[in-house]
Structure 1
Amino acid sequence: MSSPDIEVRTATPDDFDAIAAMLGVVFHYTQNPESLAVERPLHDPARGLVAVDGDQIVGSAGSFDREMAVPGGVVPCAHVTGVGVLPTHRRQGILRRMMERQLRDVAAAGREPIAALWASETAIYPRFGYGFAAPRLQLQADLTGTGLPAPAPGRLRAGSPATLRIELAKLYDELRPHRPGWSSRDDNWWNFLLLDIEAHREGATERQAVVHETPDGAVDGYAIWRVKGDWDDGGPNAEVRVSEVVAGNPDATRALWRFLFSLDLTRRLTYGLATPDEPLLHLVPEPRRLKPTLADGLWVRLVDVPAALRARAYRAPLDVVLEVTDALLPANAGRWRLTTDGTTTSCEPTTDPADLACDVLELGAAYLGGTALATLGRAGRVRELRPGALVAGDTAFGWHQAPGGMEVF
């Protein structure tokens, strides 16, 4: 039961420090002043909500104004972040009030047809219509037995991320529209992502970067990593901790992974943000030694169902009537005829009989092409009301590249 004494209001610029302190308590870490100075420009108070008990901020829910690549396009997306409630105020309905108001505010603004987040606890966000949209692959490679990818043409050039930043940002922007789940990065985001203070290194080195150049000098790939040095009775036992690997073609992919796998004195490599279709799995002679495990990544919520479904491309023609339920945003509920010829897409309300029925959560899960409609059907989450509709929908909603989030926001 929500306490009537708790006010939920729009945040102000003066709330930033109090929100940061509150989130430090919620997520069990000590805020760093240098990090907060870089984070501050990212936050738009008008996009944030705070729960206030007297003069104390006891909860928050914010979002960043960024774009996200989706199959065949790029759409404005509310990047939800900083959601938490102090332990003294849990189980009072505060989180629900903030999350529901945030969705209503985003819908009312009419600019962002989808919202996305990384879930600290995965049981929380399905209650608000967020679907598990992009699994991520975690690698914990044993470099002593995995083997190396084959050599590739081109040249590698190393440096600090700061010195290579122009090349990194340029390539990222070139590839981003074609990689579902990748988010836009302005200068403030690059400042934040490349921030490298000692408190965040956990005893590892500063971040390092390398770019791959084609024979004619064009940058077509990069990697960012650090190394945690270690020695044991058997000798060197350092760990390569990879932050990003971005490659525009197979040559760059092979060259970058070969480089990362062959750093002197290293015996292990970790990478937590690979996609399930990571090419590395097919480049090494012993893929089992990569120790790949699946975890959840991006969660997506359709805020405006027809606008969101029109904004993405589809892998095959489709004509299907979707019956959608949405307990929080009633404008999404009802029957929608989704029609696409592969180039032009329409999504309009209809009274025709439904072919598929699901909640808005399932549409969010399938939206980026990373969760198959057929899988949701086998789980009983999507109901087929016309024979053949599920196969047709599954084919159209799929995509040739698995989605993935390149950074946690």
Structure 2
Amino acid sequence: MVELILRTVRDDDDFRAFNAALYSVFLEEPQDDETELSRKITDFDRMFGFHDGNRWVATAGDYRKQVNLPGDAQVPVAAVTAVTVSPAHRRRGLLTRMMRHQLDGIRDRGTEALAMLFASETAIYGRFGYGSASQNVVLSGQVRDLGFRPEVELGDGSVSETDAETLLSVGPAIYDRAIAGLPGRMNRPAAWWNYQIHDNDERRKDSGRIRFALHHEADGTPSGYAVYRPKSDWAATGPNGTLHIGEVRATNPRAYARMWRFLLEIDLIRSIKYDGAAIDEPLRYLVADQRALQCEVVDGIFVRLVEVDRALALRRYGAPVDIVVGVHDEFCPWNTGSFRLRGDLDGAACERTTAPADLTMSARDLGAVYLGGTSVAQLVAAGLVDEHTPGSAHRAAAAFGWPVAPAIPDHF
């Protein structure tokens, strides 16, 4: 049997081979232009896998990103990506070894206290301590049925179509203001913007050419934008186009509402589909007939606390809390133990303790509650978290909960 070597990506040619291998497992063909854009957001020393001397047979990696936590903090996170094992090399423990190598490396770097990923198959990552921490919502509906409630105010701003260059000149500032305080959202440096709005034949085939629109306040200040793809279609009765919406951001509610009215009134469009919505997306409350806006809820981002005490001290808490949390973590045994967590809206501290635990949970379930999207009390009711001190589950649920639901970041 050929010896497999665990190593990092070495150079541009090696990265292209690495990229081709992961695309193959995802049953896709690599695009040269997307590979070049991906290269600009990639650190080779964070991309690794198993190589047999001729080709990559397993891949994994992570990006350097910043993520919003409950409260005002935006902290470093390892955004895990490119996890694949070729069909010919399954059942050999390669995935487990890569996860072990990666989490050890994140801990050794000391930069990030947590890791996040999107799961292609949700049953895979729980055994590595990743918990489903947010929900993604796909919104869809017929535009004729999506009128707004009569009291919705659109303000006196205006919306117009624009080009990529203009969007890139004003969009980042709007984005940064719009996502402030939204748990789960990540920063978007210039290279990520270029990757996010890139257009090619592969991206167009299912949803049309990418387009952009900007909202300006009455004084000319840019305050909102939309990224969307109209897909033309015709039925026997006339136009039947679909608007695939990638993103809608605004710095105030009136700009947000007017952006959506613009999108819902585009000529020849009869239906919309919005893949990137949050579970509490404001559009759901603007429409007069909420049933007309269909809402498909699926899992979003998965969270893994690499160092429990550091990670718990990074976020803020919705209610004052002083509890001892017992953690069992088979995959990262350095996290196993009891931790005293004290925190509120102004800050938090967490330290190891020998005191008896008020609650005991797995690293996976601690990741699930970390962003405030999963209730500790629900996990107790499901038998997944043990409550040793009566009332501690409700206190923890109030503390870990947050007024704004966590939302998914850009896909990575």
Smaller-chain TM-score bracket:
over 0.9
State the match for 2:9 in structure 1.
11
Query: Counterparts of 1:203 and 1:101 in 2: how far apart (Å)?
Result: 37
The residue type paired with residue 383 of structure 1 is: D
State the match for 1:220 in structure 2.
223
Counterpart mapping for 1:265-344 below 5 A: 265-344=268-347
The alpha carbon displacement at 1:325 in A equals 0.8
State the match for 2:32 in structure 1.
33
Q: Structure 1, residues 103-137: CA drift from partner, whole Å, max 9, x if none?
A: 11001111101100111000111111010011011
Retained in 2: the 8 A contact 1:161–1:224?
no
**Which stretches in structure 1 are left out of the alignment for 5+ residues?**
none
**Which stretches in structure 2 are left out of the alignment for 5+ residues?**
none
Counterpart mapping for 1:58-73 below 5 A: 58-72=57-71, 73=73
The alpha carbon displacement at 1:270 in A equals 0.2
Q: Structure 1, residues 279-314: CA drift from partner, whole Å, max 9, x if none?
A: 111111111111101001111100111111111111
Change in 2 beyond 3 A, CA 1:279/1:343:
same
The alpha carbon displacement at 1:197 in A equals 1.0
State the match for 1:101 in structure 2.
101
Retained in 1: the 8 A contact 2:327–2:336?
yes
The alpha carbon displacement at 1:145 in A equals 2.1
SS in 1 for 2:164: coil
2:373 to 357, 370, 373: 370
The residue type paired with residue 20 of structure 1 is: N
The alpha carbon displacement at 1:248 in A equals 2.3
The alpha carbon displacement at 1:364 in A equals 0.8
The residue type paired with residue 238 of structure 1 is: G
SS in 2 for 1:195: coil
Q: Structure 1, residues 154-196: CA drift from partner, whole Å, max 9, x if none?
A: 2213202332212111111223331111111111111111111
Structure 1 residue 83 and structure 2 residue 83: aligned?
Answer: yes
Query: Counterparts of 2:121 and 2:344 in 1: how far apart (Å)?
Result: 39
Task: Say how many residue pairs are matched.
Answer: 407
Query: Counterparts of 1:310 and 1:162 in 2: how far apart (Å)?
Result: 40
Query: Counterparts of 2:369 and 2:123 in 1: how far apart (Å)?
Result: 18
Retained in 1: the 8 A contact 2:316–2:344?
no
Q: Structure 1, residues 68-113: CA drift from partner, whole Å, max 9, x if none?
A: 1111111100000000011111111111110111011001111101
Query: Counterparts of 1:364 and 1:4 in 2: how far apart (Å)?
Result: 37
Query: Counterparts of 2:217 and 2:402 in 1: how far apart (Å)?
Result: 28
Change in 2 beyond 3 A, CA 1:11/1:159:
same
Query: Counterparts of 2:46 and 2:170 in 1: how far apart (Å)?
Result: 31
State the match for 1:152 in structure 2.
154
SS in 2 for 1:144: helix
Q: Structure 1, residues 337-394: CA drift from partner, whole Å, max 9, x if none?
A: 0001431311011111100100111111111111111222222121111011000000
Change in 2 beyond 3 A, CA 1:226/1:94:
same
1:262 to 257, 262, 265: 265
Retained in 2: the 8 A contact 1:151–1:258?
no
Over the matched positions of the two proteins, sequence identity in percent amounts to 39
Change in 2 beyond 3 A, CA 1:132/1:204:
closer
Query: Counterparts of 2:409 and 2:369 in 1: how far apart (Å)?
Result: 19
Query: Counterparts of 1:100 and 1:203 in 2: how far apart (Å)?
Result: 37
Retained in 1: the 8 A contact 2:175–2:250?
no
Q: TM-score, normalised by structure 1?
A: 0.96
The alpha carbon displacement at 1:224 in A equals 0.7
Retained in 1: the 8 A contact 2:114–2:304?
yes
The alpha carbon displacement at 1:258 in A equals 1.1
1:246 to 246, 249, 253: 249
State the match for 1:56 in structure 2.
55
Query: Counterparts of 1:344 and 1:188 in 2: how far apart (Å)?
Result: 32
Query: Counterparts of 1:175 and 1:158 in 2: how far apart (Å)?
Result: 20
Choose 198-207 or 332-341, whichever is displaced more.
198-207
Q: TM-score, normalised by structure 2?
A: 0.95
State the match for 1:113 in structure 2.
113
SS in 1 for 2:133: strand
SS in 2 for 1:164: helix
Change in 2 beyond 3 A, CA 1:11/1:343:
same
Retained in 2: the 8 A contact 1:59–1:83?
yes
Query: Counterparts of 2:2 and 2:385 in 1: how far apart (Å)?
Result: 38
